[in-house]
Structure 1
Amino acid sequence: MKWSELCIHTTNEAIEPISNILHENGASGLVIEEALDLVKEHSSKYGEVYELNPEDYPEEGVYIKAYLPVNSFLGETVEEIKQAINNLMLYDIDLGRNQITLSEVHEEEWATAWKKYYKPVKISKRITITPTWEDYRPVDTDELIIELDPGMAFGTGTHPTTVLSIQALEQFVKSGDKVIDVGSGSGVLSIAAALLGASHVYAYDLDDVAVKSTILNAKLNRLNSRITAKQNNLLDHITVEADLIVSNILAEVIVRFVDSAWNRLISGGYFITSGITQTKKQLVKDRIEQQGFNIIQVNEMEDWIAIVAQKI
């Protein structure tokens, strides 16, 4: 089968919304490449970087590469993607260069090649993420292992927004907690919460592919009895009372359900939000404080922000 590689030169801020657009338009896989992957200091945080070619990476911004089947609708699909990406400017999302190129590849070239970049990575004091095809043994007695099969639809769990979320979960999840994961994606945050002691995690995502991925990865980690994954729009119609809510999505989406998060949390409960760029930090902080939350941590990694707030 022949495939086309759609390469979008954009910004870190635009990764999440553009990735969503690509998935909605039938992309069978995504690869995100940024120059920071080549920097030594970066690799010391996230593990060794494998077989990376500097010529494949932009000097600034990021490349988002999506793979679309070559068919009679390809031209229309590409135009729809371009239009949807351009429309993001209406939401004040910085698209950077916003250069889009199209090239042809063969299925065997990308269907497995991406796996060579994905190795076990320790992302917090206790948690290591490893792909299912790697034979990994814990180094420390208290180390917690998350096995992921991200397929081509989701990240490997080592993006700064995920790392910040898991580091916060490690601090604030208590044994027996009920946790809600809003926008579960691959389910990595749900799995982390369960491993850290949550009695049950309720994982919600609007994308049916994400729900299936969460269910699959929960089973891989033998946590399917403690993780309930369902398709849902944010916290609409959810009645679960939680000790902690975590959400790694866009800042513009976070501010839309702060009131729902407040209503679903017990008194003293924690609200962990990530996926926030530097330019949107104040927007989210203001909305969270306006609701009545007490912000107790603002953590940063590269250009990304995670906020930990408490219902008081």
Structure 2
Amino acid sequence: MTPQHPALGTPPTKPRMSGIAIAVAIVGGIVLLVMGASAAFALAASSQRAGEAPGSERPLVPLDATGVTGLDLNVGLADLTLAFADVQEATLVATGGLAKGWEFTRDEDELTVRAPQANSGFCFFGVCPTTRGQNVTATLTLPQELAGPTFDAEIKIGMGVLRANGSFGELDVKLDAGDAFISGAAEHLDLEIGLGTFAGEITGAKTVAGEVAMGDLELVLRGEAPSEVDLEVSAGSIDIAVPAGEYDVTSTNTAGSIDNSLRTVPGAPNRITAKVDMGDIALRESR
């Protein structure tokens, strides 16, 4: 039998990568990027720490909180606790390396709290991590009378830690690479997670928006069922527990997974939209 040969001038056929192989390659690249970014951030932070001497406790001048309806809080790399208590004024007590550099001011009906700023001088793929609040522990205490649906908070966390318990109207949290633990009540939640971890238990939420890049979001909702929940994951994870009820769930999954154990009824008044690229979303009832 005469052997068959490819026609002259025809390049040999190259094997094609399967969709799974491409997805694995992409995920692998993301993992390496995250590991590199984490190592770079840690190096920058440790270098800054080495140049700081521990400071003593520093209470800042209390602020009159009468009529305040909003909070603009930047935790940076600090470890901050936010609480409402039976006090007459807003107080901030900080300890650690750059404790004296805190910004603690009031502009009309809004309180502004920002951790000390000190640039690390290091960049990684265009990301230049700040050491705002590095090696600092702080406690922000607000009058209990502020807590409620008329009090909004916008919170940003770099690589620090936030622990908060309170009642809010709108609660917006942007978490870069730190940790946030929030409990209490809020009518509207807007959560944006980069590489960090968010864990929360919230009562009374009417709307929830959660976006995760490569971090983790764990949220338990209590009270009445929320009317609108929008979830989006790139390569991280969301685990959300909602009050018992019927939900109209719309899901889009590229190369990740969506685990839905809710009672799903098309056209139900309570709507959940879930979109996943390469991460995971779990939908379940709170207990």
TM-score under structure 2 length normalisation: 0.27
Q: Looking at secondary structure, tell me which structure has more helix per residue.
A: 1
Query: Which structure has the greater CA radius of gyration?
Result: 2
Q: Looking at secondary structure, tell me which structure has more strand per residue.
A: 2
Highest RCO, 1 vs 2 (Cα 8 Å, sep ≥ 6)? 1
TM-score under structure 1 length normalisation: 0.25
